[in-house]
A = this chain, B = another copy of it.
């Protein structure tokens, strides 16, 4: 940490801050410039509360040097984390394709989609039973009934299942039925839910919030890890920008950035990341090329009848083409 004092800061105040920092257990290195004095803090800076320092009227600003995450950091855990689901491994260099409908709508719908995506090469089944919808008047998901259908589809196809837990109340229920529990973008900073996810010990798919920096994303992973749950898979799903042609702006640079900073696996959601089915295939190819550990793609038997997100869902033939091309890119990436 570096404290930048204002040009006008009295020596006595600088001295007082130095003493306080020393009393908190860190070393202080003073650099006196012509205009400003810098205080470099090294050693154990965990007990320092940056906002308190910035509250001092003689402090210009405080600059953090270290990333605030520890357990999620590659510095402290150089080896890649590998998450084992029921027969599927994420983070070991393979490419895990997860596919399925946005929302579970009926047994017929789900089974048809599950069998088809399985045959086309998907390794995991996605499907929402609880749906976070902007409007209270939109379809909110089938709830437990949907979870039961997901479990059944797993039994039939052998594919482990990923589905979202939207709140603390239903988290344990979702955990009973599914293999990988999604925490959605809107809940990325629902800290109570993150703690519960941590305590559960179950594999968690944590989606990046739509205005979350990579650092904040990793801090939310830290919440889960800090509860003793190492099974966290991150998911880049697009951030909010000024561009309105796409639903979100898929930030593919987040994949190599996270690989630099963290040991956690990263998958990409090109469906929410673009909001348009025509863009799902090209962005899937790019996501694989950039180094993603997997993709999570919306596929529907009848997008024009889908109760949710039909505009970004692939039909089977398009998903087949996507599978073909991403496998080729995966082979040479």
Q: Would you give the shortest CB distance from A128 to chain B, in whole angstroms?
A: 13
* CB–CB B282/A291 < 8 A: yes
User: In angstroms, how far is the closest chain B Cβ from the Cβ of A193?
Assistant: 7
**Stretch in contact with the other chain, from A47-55, A89-97, A109-117, A145-153:** A47-55
Asked if A54 and B219 make an inter-chain contact with CB atoms under 8 angstroms apart, the answer reads no
A239 → B minimal CB distance (Å): 6
What interface size band does chain A fall in?
35 or more
- B239 contacts A253, CB within 8 Å? no
Q: Do residues B333 and A325 form an inter-chain contact, with CB atoms below 8 A?
A: yes
Closest Cβ–Cβ distance, residue A324 to chain B (whole Å): 10
Inter-chain contact B243/A213, CB cutoff 8 Å: yes
Instruction: For residue A246, give the distance in angstroms from its CB to the closest CB of chain B.
Output: 5
A157 CB → nearest B CB, Å:
24
Contacting residues, chain B, for A87 (C-beta < 8 A): none
A window 104-134: CB within 8 A of B? 132-134
Partner of A29, one of B31, B35, B50, B215: B31
**Which residues in B have their C-beta under 8 angstroms from that of A167?**
168, 190-193
B31 pairs with A75, CB closer than 8 A: no
Inter-subunit contact A75/B332 (CB<8 Å): no
- Identify which of B51, B63, B65 contacts A309 (C-beta below 8 A): B51
Pairwise interchain contact B242-A211, C-beta atoms closer than 8 A? yes
- Cα–Cα, bound, A54→B309 (Å): 9
Q: Chain B residues near A322 (CB, 8 Å)?
A: none
Contacts of A134 in B (CB 8 A): 68, 189, 216, 219
Q: How far is the CB of A66 from chain B (nearest CB, A)?
A: 7
The distance from the CB of A224 to the nearest CB of chain B, in whole angstroms, is 9
Copies of this chain, tallied across the complex: 4
Partner-binding segment picked from A173-181, A199-207, A272-280: A272-280
In the complex, whether A10 has a CB less than 8 A from a CB of chain B is no
Q: Which residues of B contact A50 (CB under 8 A)?
A: 311
Q: Is A296 an interface residue (CB 8 A)?
A: no
Closest to A274 in B: B253
Q: Does A77 contact B (CB under 8 A)?
A: no
- Among the interface residues A211, A244, A254, A305, which one has the most CB atoms of the partner chain B within 10 A? A211
Q: What B residues does A75 contact at CB under 8 A?
A: 7, 35
Q: Give 1 or 0 for each of A161-202: 1 = CB within 8 Å of chain B CB.
A: 000001111100000000000000011011111010000000
Cβ contacts under 8 Å, A274 to chain B: 253
Say if the beta carbon of A289 comes within 8 Å of chain B.
yes
Is B251 a contact partner of A55 (Cβ separation < 8 A)? no
For residue A25, which residues in chain B have a CB less than 8 angstroms away from its CB? none
Q: Chain B nearest CB: distance from A188 CB in Å?
A: 8
14 interchain pairs, CB-CB under 8 A: A27-B33, A33-B42, A34-B42, A36-B65, A46-B137, A51-B311, A52-B303, A52-B311, A53-B304, A186-B191, A187-B190, A243-B251, A256-B279, A256-B283
Q: Which 3 A-B pairs have the closest CB atoms?
A: A211-B211, A33-B42, A167-B192
